[in-house]
Amino acid sequence: MDLIIRRAMLPRSAFQQHQQQHQQPLDIGIDAGRIVALEPDLAASAREEIDAAGSLVTPPFVDPHFHMDATLSYGLPRVNASGTLLEGIALWGELKPQLTQEALIERAMQYCDWAVARGLLAIRSHVDVCDPRLLAVEALLEVKRRVAPYLDLQLVAFPQDGVLRSAGAFDNLKRAIGMGVDVVGGIPHFERTMADGAQSVRMLCEYAAEQGLRVDMHCDESDDPLSRHIETLAAETHRLGLHGRVAGSHLTSMHSMDNYYVSKLLPLMRDSGVAAIANPLINITLQGRSDTYPKRRGMTRVPEMMAAGIEVAFGHDCVMDPWYSLGSGDMLEVAHMGLHVAQMTGVDAMHACFDAVTVNAARILGLEGYGIAPGCAANLVVLDARDAVEAIRLRAARLAVVSRGKVVSRAPAARASLSLEGRPAQVDFKLHRA
């Protein structure tokens, strides 16, 4: 074998997959880029071995919602002084004419390096198609080619200024798909009227159905309780037989919707197989801005959707761009924020937040061979934590990242050496019990 990871604790969802009642450390055997064995005390040898020593080994983090054309542009051409969504959109408009393909590629490649170091090995990125030059599309297709040996980059043709509102946007979107962009995007709440928004959803879903493509729309990203494009998106998904291939991103208006209406909406979403992608870091900072107090959180109804049987994942959305000046590609930070904002502090709920940045997101992207089982792709992360909850709590160090069977990143564990009144001590922030 090429590699064996010894004494690995798996996330709950992976243990459930193997119907293991009593969780115990397992050895993971890897050969030719695939997992070939998963059992305790594997009697085999390999060219390289990693001793996880009871630490959590997980399939990689998956970011189902990102904007790689804007990432790491913080401060260009100026910073977002107010920190609001509208100033962010204005800033992006100022930056767009100055973008060059070289600079776009350089920033995206730097971000992908950060992602790999964080164990983030699959990203769905929206790419703005409203610029007829399609500069960002060409740049991100080039990035997709360059990172393909170690990172899955899926691109969404995103008409940032509205597919109906922005002249030529639908043609640009189709050109982008023709060039190799994977998924059809949209932004119905940004069209001029509610009716135009609904029309844009119908048009884009019909196009996706014709082309056999997935759909992921920025949908209802506002505090308006009457912004209900998610209803149209779910109904169109059902009408066109796109079940399991459509996602609504953000859905922040659901936070403010009438409860009775939502009790009808959730079953419609479940029955049409529409997934939901919340972006906790961005939703908590950009929504509720026109409120005084009480101030709404703005994130969509994550635990309620999960309880209704809807696929829900968390995305990062932004890192150091016109909308968000923080972030480092750490999906554990995303899960940490999502857990807090949604008050998902029950034990099962905390594990569900870990699933929201791993398995759930992988299903939304339609990733093949994702998971820890013989036959799966050998994409794995060794975390400095004993379980998923501890990983979220500590935003645990990614001790080793394995992509396509190769170790592509290593990082030291976070430790502090104390000297207190002459008493030396080592701290690793885990609670060690005798």
Q: How far is the CB of 50 from Fe ion (least distance, A)?
A: 36
Indicate the SS3 state at residue 399.
strand
Q: How far is the CB of 283 from Fe ion (least distance, A)?
A: 10
Q: How far is the CB of 223 from Fe ion (least distance, A)?
A: 16
Q: How far is the CB of 139 from Fe ion (least distance, A)?
A: 18
Nearer to Fe ion, 6 or 316 (CB): 316
> Which spans in 274-429 are helix H?
280-286, 302-307, 331-341, 347-355, 359-365, 388-394
Peptide bond into 77 cis (omega under 30): yes
CA 83 to chain centre: 22
Q: Which of residues 284-343 bind Fe ion (CB under 5 A)?
A: 317
Nearer to Fe ion, 61 or 66 (CB): 66
76 in Cβ contact with 100 (< 8 Å): no
Angstrom distance (rounded) from CA 57 to CA 96? 40
Nearer to Fe ion, 191 or 317 (CB): 317
* Residues β-bridged to residue 423: 420
CA 270 to chain centre: 20
HSE-CB for 173 with a 13 A CA cutoff: 29
Nearest residue to Fe ion, by Cβ distance, number only: 317
Beta-carbon contacts of 19 under 8 Å, excluding residues fewer than 6 positions away, are none
Q: Is 191 a catalytic residue?
A: no
**Of 145, 83, 143, which is closest to residue 112 (Cα–Cα)?**
143
HSE-CB for 7 with a 13 A CA cutoff: 7
Q: Which of residues 239-278 bind Fe ion (CB under 5 A)?
A: none
Nearer to Fe ion, 311 or 317 (CB): 317
- 74, 300, 371, 215 alpha-carbon torsion, rounded to 10°: -80
Which two three-digit tokens encode residue 410? 């290593």
Query: Considering 221, 311, 333, 390, which one is annotated as catalytic?
Result: 221
Q: Rounded to 5 degrees, what are φ and ψ at 275?
A: -90, 160
Peptide bond into 59 cis (omega under 30): no
CA 248 to chain centre: 13
Q: How far is the CB of 218 from Fe ion (least distance, A)?
A: 5
Q: How far is the CB of 155 from Fe ion (least distance, A)?
A: 13
CA-based torsion, 163, 168, 169, 173: positive or negative? positive
61 in Cβ contact with 119 (< 8 Å): yes
Nearer to Fe ion, 61 or 158 (CB): 158
Angstrom distance (rounded) from CA 335 to CA 337? 5
Nearer to Fe ion, 2 or 216 (CB): 216
Q: How far is the CB of 295 from Fe ion (least distance, A)?
A: 22
Nearer to Fe ion, 317 or 384 (CB): 317
How many residues of this chain interact with Fe ion, rule: CB under 5 A? Answer: 1
Nearer to Fe ion, 59 or 64 (CB): 64
Nearer to Fe ion, 69 or 317 (CB): 317
Q: How far is the CB of 222 from Fe ion (least distance, A)?
A: 13
Angstrom distance (rounded) from CA 312 to CA 275? 6
Give the containing element (helix H, strand E) for 124. Answer: strand 120-128
214 in Cβ contact with 246 (< 8 Å): yes
Q: How far is the CB of 323 from Fe ion (least distance, A)?
A: 8
38 in Cβ contact with 18 (< 8 Å): yes
Q: Which residues are catalytic?
A: 221
Residues that bind Fe ion (CB under 5 A): 317
